[in-house]
Every structure is written in structure tokens, then in C-alpha cells.
């Protein structure tokens, strides 16, 4: 099923300062910025685009707690309940000796859950296809993308504004998916 | 700015400020896009031969059993376990650079973190093989993992050897994830650079559809910070647990509470020796002197000096405690280390780990690749002997004098050790040819930050 094409205004910049200035300019005019594509993370853009704090740390915490609980439960079950082994007369429930493995599994689960949560949330999967808005955004081009629907001022006016604030090029693109 | 640098008042820039972003990508990707040079081919050929020899020796050992080693009673651990601890230790510098220096916002690490992380992974892989060989019946290695089985037995969770299984596997997996995450944006760059064809498809698959969106970047930086925060205590735990293989026993010379921090310091020290060795060679062979600069070598040498001093302090502390503790057996073991039949190994260790690193106080030495190369090699020799001294000298004079023996390694054991270097270098040489060995995106960010700082 193909939905109606969506219209985007794509402005490209050669450095992050120009990009930041332009982003501030259009945002001050009340336009919502669709997204920004850059070769490296540009700091200070999150507030301009309106990206909220990531909730990834919650995923890490949940993963860590799950790993910790699993490790403790596993060791208690195996060494205390299921088959207590007498090794050198030490108590079956040698809780202190369970600490290293509990720590390792906490870190392992927290790490894997963080990684999985990041990939899932960002839609990064093997074979994912990308239709870049502009060429070279993984090389040296900084692209600012406005969705026409969100541009509160006239689109031509927005384009002129972007060019004035240092865009190398501004194009209109239709994307249908 | 340049005047200040000339007067020694400001740090020289880490990246040549005249470089454009496109230059950075082109120069870093150059080794991946052209045919390998003669030096690389020769190095790869030698490493590959050593790897083949390594696997031939392992196969022979599996057929014959580890009776063909020089092990006896009570020296049940020797070259094999020494090499295991040595290789695990090498890996620690990589995580220190990629995780701990990341948390401390040390931006100079950007040029070297990728290759240091790769080194970690290959070193841990190599290390992991040694205990597996030592099992003798390697095909039962899965018995190390607790799983429901017909013997109705679980592993003994009180044993540090079982802790090792969990620690090393966790370390390998988390390091791999961290390493791969770091490369995601670079795979996307390489994908967009490659013309249509197999290369584009492979980089496309590896990049997972990365498009450099700000939403992804923002989340990505959080994810990397979280992973770095997890890797930092992890790396310290790994060598601490390795040290407990020894410290939880009651053998004189092993039974010491200083072991965990002592082993971690030694691990980082030897690891930095290996990073310097690899990078001094790589920057030359792959023409990356403008990225891996003398300033990087200088800083790595400083960390080496610091950790080397910690190691020397640990030696002194061990000796002090052996005397001050008043335990006759403990005192005997330490005197025996310095004056007994293995005194040559002890003094090699002291020369390489205590005396040699003192050269690093000199700035001229720290910024000279020609001087650092032999030092880096000697550090690794010294750290291998440190583990050999700890393991063998303690075992061969255990509590029962009637079982005192000498241990001599056989050619098989030495051959396996030499071969393991082949495996490690083969992996590393493949890495610098097939994957982006410098984090391009981080270098670009660094160059931009540098430019802003100046204007």
C-alpha cells in the first residue's frame, strides 16, 4: 500500500555551525524540524529538534536487575537446593562466593539489553534500507530536513530563509513509501 | 595558537586543522580500498604460518594428551596458564582506552580507540584458547557451563575457575558489542563511498541501515556512554577474578590480598606495551602518522609509566608483607624467587618491569617511536615472566619439601606460545585491512571541536 507522497524541504550545509544557526532560525519562526542528518553527533541539536532525554538507561537498569536476579536464583537453586555438594566443608549457601558470577551476569544482561533496546528503537536491523534525503550525510554534508506540513510559513519563504542562513542548497523532495 | 605551541604553552592540535572531513574519510579508508603493500603481505604471511603452526601443535596435543608438556606434580600449571593470564592482561588496555578514557572525556583517545578495542578482542580470543587446551579433553569444554545434564551435577560455584568462565565470556561479548557499535557510523560511511557491488552490500548489511539521523545519534551517544559505564567495572572485575584463581588458594606466594589490584595494574601496563607496539608498527605500515601522532605515543607512554610504577610498588609491597607477615613459608618462597633456580626469570621480570620503564620519564624517549618500540617489546617480555614467576616458582617449592621439583617447558609448550602470537597478529592484520581502524566519525567530531576551540 502506498500512501500519498510526503513533501520535505531539504537544506544542506558544509559545517555544523551553519546548520545550528539555520536550525535556530527556522525554529524561531515556529517550524518544527523533522530531523537533521550529520556525519558525527552535533551537540546542542536535541533541544532545537525537540528530542527528549533517551530512556535507554531504564532499559539498562531493567537488564541489569534481570541479570542479577537470574544469576542469584540460578546459583542458589543449583548449589543449595538441587544438588548441594560438599566441597572442603564449605556451606552450600556460600553467598559471598556467588558475588563474582552475579556481577558478571548483571553486566552482561545490562549490556545486551542496552544494545538491543538501542537497535530496536532506532530501527537498525541487518538489511534495513535507507533512502537518504541528501547525499554525503555520512561523509561531510549536514542536512536539515523540514516536513512541508510542519512549515508554518510559506515553503518558498522557508527555503529563502534557509539559504540566507548559510545553506549550500535547498531542495524539495517527495518521499512515498 | 601556533606561537603558543612553539613556546610549549599549548598542546599541539591532535588533528591537522587544514584537513577537511572528506580528507579524513579518504585517508582512513585508503588501506581498505587499495591493494595491500609489500610490508603488510610479508607480515601477514609470517603470521599466517605461525597460526598454522599453532593449530598444528594444538591438534597434536589433543591427540597425544597434555602429558607431552613438561608439567608434573606439583607444577600443574606453567607456560600454558602463564600465557592465558598474559593474553587476558593484554586486552585490558583496549578497554581502558575505549571505556575508561571515554568516561573521563579524554578526546585524544579517538585516533587509537578502535584499534585498541580490536586488540582487546583478539587478545581475549587468544587467551581463551589456553585454558581450553589445558583441559586436555577439549571436546568436553561445555562441561564448564552449568546446564541440565544426565550426570545431575552442576558446576562448583565456589571455584574461581568457574568465575573465570563467566568473567571472560562476559568480557568478550560486551567488548564485541562495544566495538561493533563504535563501527556502525563508519560502516555507513564506507557503504556510501563504495560503488555498487559486493562491497556495498556487505557494508550495507553491517551498517544496519544507519543514516546519521540526529534522533539516532542522540540515542547512540547515550548507549555508548552506558556501555562504557558497564565495561569499566567489568574490565577491573575480569583480571581481579583471574588473580583469584591464585589468591584464593593457600600456596605461599599466591595467597595474598594485594593480588586483584596488582593484577589489574599489571594487565593495563602490559596492554599499553602491546598497544604501543601495534600502533608504532601500524602507523608506519599504513601511513597513518598524521592521525596516530607522537602526542598519542607520549600519552600512552605516560600511562605505561604510571601503571609500571604501580606494578613496581606491588612487587615492593609483596616483599614487604612476606618479611613483615612473619610467615616462614612465605618468606622462603620470596627469597627463593630471587636466589633460587628460577632467579633468572625473576630478574628478567624486575629488569623489564621496574628498570626499563624508568626511561619513560624522559620526554625524548616518550616521543620517539624508535626508542618506544624496544621498550614496548621488553614490557611484554617482562609481564610474561611476571606471571611465569608467580605461577612456577610458587608451585615448584610448595609446602611439602619431598615433592619439590624443577619444571622445564617442552618445545610443544614454547611452540604453542609462539604460535599464539601468530594467531593474534593474523587477526590484527586482517582487521587493519578489512575494517576502519580509526573511528572516522569521532575524528570528524574532534576536528570540528578543535576548530571551534580556536576561533
Interface test with B, best of A47, A100, A109 (most B CBs within 10 A): A100
Q: Architecture of B18-135+156-454 per CATH?
A: Up-down Bundle (1.20)
Interface test with B, best of A13, A17, A41 (most B CBs within 10 A): A41
Q: Is B445 in Cβ contact with A56 (below 8 Å)?
A: no
Rg (CA), chain B: 23
Q: Which residue of B has its CA nearest to A138?
A: B189
Q: Is A110 in Cβ contact with B222 (below 8 Å)?
A: no
A-proximal residues of B, 260-279, CB under 8 Å: none
Partnered with residue A173 across adjacent β-strands are A8
Q: Is B441 in Cβ contact with A112 (below 8 Å)?
A: no
Interface test with A, best of B163, B170, B183, B220 (most A CBs within 10 A): B170
Give the CATH number of domain A6-39+136-175: 3.30.70.1710
d(CA B275, CA B93): 7
Q: Is A125 in Cβ contact with B223 (below 8 Å)?
A: no
C-alpha cell at B189: 560511511
Q: Is B156 in Cβ contact with A105 (below 8 Å)?
A: no
- Asked if the peptide bond before residue B74 counts as cis, ω within 30 degrees of 0, the response is yes
Q: Does B49 touch chain A (CB under 8 A)?
A: no
Q: Which residue of A has its CA nearest to B213?
A: A37
| Residue matched to cell numbers 610490508 | B39
CB-based contact B87:B449 (threshold 8 Å): no
| Extents of the domains making up chain A | 6-39+136-175, 56-122
In 3-state terms, what secondary structure has residue B354?
Answer: helix
| Extents of the domains making up chain B | 18-135+156-454
Q: pLDDT tens digit string along A135-152?
A: 888 888 888 888 777 666
**Neighbouring C-beta atoms of residue A90, cutoff 10 Å:** 12
In 3-state terms, what secondary structure has residue A175?
Answer: strand
A-proximal residues of B, 292-311, CB under 8 Å: none
Exposure string over B399-428, b if 16+ CB within 10 A, otherwise e: eeeeeeeebebeebbebbbebbbbbbbbbb
Which run of H or of E encompasses B121?
helix B113-134
Which residues of chain B neighbour A119 with C-beta distances below 8 Å?
Answer: 208
CB-based contact B175:B94 (threshold 8 Å): yes
d(CA B208, CA B188): 8
d(CA B224, CA B219): 9
Q: Is B211 in Cβ contact with A137 (below 8 Å)?
A: yes
So what's the ipTM on this one?
A: 0.90
Q: Is A103 in Cβ contact with B177 (below 8 Å)?
A: no
Of B22, B184, B212, the CB nearest to A137: B212
Closest CA to B77 of B315, B407, B417, B416: B407
Q: Does B208 touch chain A (CB under 8 A)?
A: yes
Q: Does B442 touch chain A (CB under 8 A)?
A: yes
DSSP, res B204: H
d(CA B440, CA B210): 15
Confidence label for A1 from pLDDT (cuts 50, 70 and 90):
very low
CB-based contact B256:B390 (threshold 8 Å): no
Which residues of chain B neighbour A132 with C-beta distances below 8 Å?
Answer: 192, 211
> pLDDT by residue for chain B (455 residues), tens digit each?
455 555 555 566 677 767 778 888 888 888 777 888 888 899 999 999 999 999 999 999 999 988 999 998 889 999 999 999 999 999 888 888 888 888 888 888 888 888 899 999 999 999 999 999 999 899 999 988 898 888 878 888 888 999 999 999 999 999 999 999 999 999 988 888 887 788 888 888 898 988 888 888 999 999 999 999 999 999 999 999 999 999 998 888 899 889 999 999 999 999 999 999 999 988 888 888 888 888 889 989 999 999 999 999 999 999 999 999 888 999 999 999 999 999 999 999 999 999 999 999 999 999 899 999 999 999 999 999 999 999 999 999 888 889 899 999 999 999 999 999 999 999 999 998 888 888 888 888 888 887 777 54
Q: pLDDT tens digit string along A9-68?
A: 888 888 888 888 888 888 887 778 888 888 888 888 888 888 888 899 999 999 999 999
Residues with Cβ < 8 Å from A49, sequence gap 6 or more? A23, A33, A35, A36, B214, B215
Of B160, B205, B218, the CB nearest to A126: B205
Amino acid at each position: 500500500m502506498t500512501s500519498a507522497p510526503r513533501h520535505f524541504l531539504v537544506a544542506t550545509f558544509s559545517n555544523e555551525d551553519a546548520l545550528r544557526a539555520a536550525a535556530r532560525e527556522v525554529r524561531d519562526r515556529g517550524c518544527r524540524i523533522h530531523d537533521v542528518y550529520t556525519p558525527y553527533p552535533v551537540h546542542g541539536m536535541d533541544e532545537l529538534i525537540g528530542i527528549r532525554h533517551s530512556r535507554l538507561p531504564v532499559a539498562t537498569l531493567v537488564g541489569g536487575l534481570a541479570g542479577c536476579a537470574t544469576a542469584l536464583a540460578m546459583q542458589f537453586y543449583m548449589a543449595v537446593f538441587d544438588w548441594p555438594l560438599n566441597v572442603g566443608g564449605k556451606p552450600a549457601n556460600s553467598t559471598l562466593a556467588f558475588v563474582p558470577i552475579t556481577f558478571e551476569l548483571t553486566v552482561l544482561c545490562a549490556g545486551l539489553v542496552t544494545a538491543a533496546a538501542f537497535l530496536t528503537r532506532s530501527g537498525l536491523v541487518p538489511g534495513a534500507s535507507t533512502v537518504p534525503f541528501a547525499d554525503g550525510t555520512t561523509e561531510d554534508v549536514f542536512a536539515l530536513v523540514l516536513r512541508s506540513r510542519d512549515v508554518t510559513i510559506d515553503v518558498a519563504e522557508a527555503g529563502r530563509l534557509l539559504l540566507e542562513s548559510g545553506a549550500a542548497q535547498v531542495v524539495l523532495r517527495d518521499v512515498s513509501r | 595558537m601556533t606561537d603558543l605551541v612553539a613556546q610549549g604553552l599549548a598542546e599541539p592540535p591532535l588533528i591537522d586543522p587544514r584537513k577537511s572531513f572528506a580528507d579524513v574519510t579518504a585517508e582512513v579508508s585508503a588501506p581498505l580500498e587499495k591493494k595491500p603493500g609489500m610490508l603488510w603481505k610479508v607480515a601477514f604471511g609470517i603470521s599466517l604460518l605461525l597460526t598454522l603452526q599453532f593449530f598444528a601443535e594444538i591438534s597434536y596435543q589433543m591427540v597425544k594428551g597434555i602429558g607431552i608438556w613438561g608439567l608434573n606434580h606439583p607444577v600443574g600449571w606453567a607456560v600454558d596458564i602463564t600465557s592465558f593470564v598474559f593474553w587476558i592482561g593484554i586486552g585490558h588496555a583496549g578497554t581502558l582506552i575505549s571505556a575508561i578514557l571515554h568516561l573521563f572525556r579524554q578526546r585524544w583517545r579517538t585516533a587509537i580507540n578502535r584499534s585498541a578495542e580490536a586488540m582487546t578482542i583478539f587478545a581475549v580470543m587468544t587467551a581463551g584458547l589456553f585454558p581450553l587446551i589445558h583441559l586436555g579433553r577439549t571436546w568436553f569444554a561445555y562441561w564448564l557451563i552449568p546446564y541440565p545434564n544426565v550426570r545431575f551435577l552442576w558446576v562448583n560455584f565456589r571455584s574461581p575457575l568457574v568465575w573465570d568462565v563467566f568473567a571472560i565470556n562476559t568480557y568478550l561479548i560486551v567488548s564485541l558489542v562495544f566495538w561493533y557499535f563504535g563501527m556502525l557510523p563508519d560502516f555507513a560511511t564506507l557503504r556510501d563511498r563504495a560503488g555498487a557491488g559486493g562491497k556495498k552490500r556487505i557494508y550495507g548489511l553491517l551498517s544496519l541501515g544507519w543514516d546519521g539521523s540526529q534522533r539516532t545519534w542522540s540515542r547512540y551517544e547515550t548507549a555508548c556512554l552506558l556501555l562504557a559505564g558497564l565495561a569499566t567495572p567489568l574490565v577491573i572485575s575480569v583480571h581481579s577474578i583471574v588473580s583469584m584463581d591464585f589468591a584464593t588458594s593457600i600456596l605461599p606466594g599466591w595467597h595474598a590480598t594485594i593480588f586483584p589490584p596488582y593484577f589489574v595494574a599489571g594487565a593495563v601496563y602490559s596492554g599499553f606495551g602491546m598497544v604501543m607496539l601495534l600502533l608504532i608498527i601500524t602507523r608506519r605500515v599504513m601511513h597513518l602518522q598524521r592521525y596516530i601522532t607522537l602526542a598519542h605515543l607520549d600519552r600512552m607512554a605516560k600511562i605505561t609509566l604510571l601503571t609500571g610504577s604501580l606494578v613496581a610498588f606491588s612487587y615492593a609491597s609483596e616483599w614487604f608483607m612476606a618479611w613483615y607477615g612473619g610467615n616462614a613459608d612465605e618468606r622462603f618462597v620470596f627469597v627463593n624467587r630471587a636466589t633460587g633456580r628460577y632467579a633468572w626469570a625473576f630478574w628478567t621480570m624486575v629488569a623489564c618491569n621496574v628498570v626499563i620503564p624508568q626511561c619513560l620519564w624522559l620526554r625524548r624517549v616518550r616521543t620517539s617511536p624508535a626508542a618506544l618500540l624496544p621498550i614496548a617489546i621488553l614490557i611484554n617480555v617482562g609481564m610474561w615472566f611476571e606471571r611465569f614467576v608467580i605461577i612456577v616458582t610458587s608451585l615448584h617449592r610448595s609446602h611439602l619439601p619431598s615433592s619439590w621439583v624443577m619444571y622445564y617447558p617442552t618445545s610443544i609448550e614454547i611452540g604453542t606460545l609462539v604460535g599464539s602470537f601468530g594467531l593474534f597478529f593474523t587477526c590484527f592484520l586482517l582487521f587493519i585491512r578489512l575494517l576502519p581502524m580509526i573511528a572516522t566519525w569521532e575524528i570528524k567530531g574532534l576536528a570540528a571541536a578543535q576548530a571551534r576551540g580556536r576561533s
